[in-house]
Structure 1
Amino acid sequence: MHFHGYEWAGDGRLLAKESERRPIDRAQFSHSGLPPLMTGWWLLRPAAQVRSTWSTPADAADWLVQRYAEHTPGGDPWLPLSTRRQHALDQLADHSDVVWSRWVSDSRWSGHYMIVCPNRFWTDVPCPAAPWGPAR
């Protein structure tokens, strides 16, 4: 088991383009930079969309903390990063994907996604970066 990190930040109104977020039209879906509607569908995207890959939940959670902190200045007043990190560790150790996303302004959306690979819910989806190398 390993973990692929993905992220997307941009005009949140673009998330309404659901046709680009579903793998119905493979070409359109593969070329879209928008986050898929289902977490496991990230694994259907080209390997170039993988930001990095880790072999441990702790390293994957550390990346989430770093990227989330960079994209959400001031943090989340309801859930401190240390608590958020612990929840991510628990989820990843349980082979569950982790999504941290939020509106960071009136129109800007920021999302960070850690996808377990191979994925227990998307067993027919191959690893997009196989054979995957060391974390970059």
Structure 2
Amino acid sequence: MTGGLRLPEEAEAAAYFPGQEDQLHVHGYLWTGEKTAFDKESIRRPPPSVAPTATSPDEVQQRYREAVAEWRATDVPPIETALWLLKPRQLIQGTWDEPKKAAEWLGERLTEHAPRFASHHDQDPTRLTALTAYAAERLAQRGDCSLGFYLRGTLFLSMALVTCSPNHAESKLSCPFSEFPEGAVLLPHTSAAGSLGHVTCKTCKDLIAERNARRAHGDETGARAKDAALADHSRKHHTE
């Protein structure tokens, strides 16, 4: 596998939904971790959509509940790009209401990580520019965009831009911020390290800022530790 675009939803993007143009926005996601973790389809694929029945054994129901909770909490990229919308909102790196702005963020992340790409071909500035332009075009058509690159060593970089409200591939998925309290304002992404746009919880803000700072300095171990702390805090305090 080489770095570059990974687009599981290659079908034509759906047409705009009348009356919802003003709701369209894009969420950005970024994950860096061991390639072995990314290759484990079992942790990337969501649990079966059919839950155990009320008459199922208690242990079966408990295992299913645990599987659902674990899948939603892990920051490993889901098997389908649109399913990022089911993940904790704290994993969102930025939110934009213009596809061009979202693509610009992607381009910035490509440039930032390019020196660490294992393939010299993937480091080519012309190629990075072309990927950024393709992402902008894809988003303008309401399509999602997902990219993956081998990094030096055993790490893998995954980035995704996911359209929302609605998503063309999974139109029934709601926005991760749809349950946020009234008054939480959608802010434009302005930080190269990741936006805190919708986040109102001070603890979440602090953890996200610390994670982004560590990731910006190449401390991936520290960044993942902050991600784990963020997921734990979210499960305890922001899960109904």
TM-score of the aligned structures, taking structure 1 as reference length: 0.91
Alignment match, 1:124: 172
Larger mean Cα displacement after TM superposition, 70-79 or 107-116: 70-79
Deviation at 1:84, TM superposition (A): 1.4
- 2: distance between equivalents of 1:31 and 1:72? 28
Alignment match, 1:84: 131
- 2: distance between equivalents of 1:42 and 1:51? 12
- 2: distance between equivalents of 1:66 and 1:114? 13
Deviation at 1:30, TM superposition (A): 1.2
Alignment match, 1:52: 94
Consecutive unaligned residues in structure 2, runs of 5 or more:
1-23, 48-66, 189-194, 196-240
* Post-superposition CA distance 1:40-90 (Å, at most 9, x none): 110000111111100001110010011122122175339522211111111
Cα distance change of structure 1 residues 79 and 28 upon mapping to structure 2, 3 Å threshold: farther
Indicate the SS of the match to 1:53: strand
Is contact 1:4–1:50 with CA below 8 Å preserved after alignment?
yes
Is contact 1:20–1:29 with CA below 8 Å preserved after alignment?
yes
Q: Which structure is richer in relative contact order (CA contacts within 8 A, separation 6 or more)?
A: 1
Cα distance change of structure 1 residues 133 and 78 upon mapping to structure 2, 3 Å threshold: closer
Aligned length: 136
Which residue identity lines up with residue 172 of structure 2 in the other structure?
Answer: D
Cα distance change of structure 1 residues 78 and 60 upon mapping to structure 2, 3 Å threshold: closer
Q: 1:93 aligns with which of 140, 158, 161?
A: 140
Alignment match, 2:160: 113
Deviation at 1:17, TM superposition (A): 2.6
Larger mean Cα displacement after TM superposition, 52-61 or 104-113: 104-113
- 1: distance between equivalents of 2:75 and 2:127? 29
Indicate the SS of the match to 1:5: strand
Which residue identity lines up with residue 81 of structure 1 in the other structure?
Answer: L
Alignment pair present for 1:36 and 2:74: no
Consecutive unaligned residues in structure 1, runs of 5 or more:
none
For the aligned residues, what is the CA RMSD? 1.8
Which residue identity lines up with residue 77 of structure 1 in the other structure?
Answer: D
Alignment pair present for 1:134 and 2:164: no
Deviation at 1:106, TM superposition (A): 4.0
**Structure 1 or 2: larger helix share?**
2
* Post-superposition CA distance 1:74-123 (Å, at most 9, x none): 75339522211111111000101111211012411011110000201101
Percent identity among equivalent residues? 30
Cα distance change of structure 1 residues 11 and 47 upon mapping to structure 2, 3 Å threshold: same
